Amino acid sequence: MTEVYGVIYHKLDVIGVLSVSEYDVIKNDPLTPLCIDRLAPDRYAIARNRVVDGVLVPDPDMEIRVDHDKKFAEPLTYQDLKGRKVVYPEPGSVNLAIKNELVAYLDRWLTEMINDGYRRN
């Protein structure tokens, strides 16, 4: 399982997420833009924002923690129209079922975005 964190880090790098210093949007017409926020030196939020009835809706929106020295990344939160999932619900506590679900999801989602041509210029 631990090697998937390195794979996720690499995929974030391929897309260009890790080179964002504050905020950027990757447009990939006709697909939904990918918005990237660097929240801290070790945290990013990525979201595919679409417009529904004139309102910008992030679906999904994930927060990811990275370790640049070890070259690994892990999901922290997931949010979509149905709700929010949190890997670490409180200090010292981890929801392993949610963590495993979000790791698998993030790995697939990043692969889809790479295959769809999402790249930061």
Q: What is the pLDDT of residue 54?
A: 85
Whole-model pTM: value is 0.92
83 beta partners? 80
Q: What is the pLDDT of residue 47?
A: 95
Structure tokens given for 118: 């999402």
Q: pLDDT band at 1, cuts 50/70/90?
A: low
DSSP state of 90: S
Chain segment 20-71, per-residue pLDDT in tens: 999 999 999 999 999 999 999 999 999 997 778 888 777 799 999 999 999 9
HEC string of 39-50? EECCEEEEEEEE
Calculate the average pLDDT of the chain. 94
Which residues contact residue 13 at a Cβ distance below 8 angstroms, ignoring those fewer than 6 apart?
19
Residue with tokens 């949010």: 79
Structure tokens given for 69: 């020295």
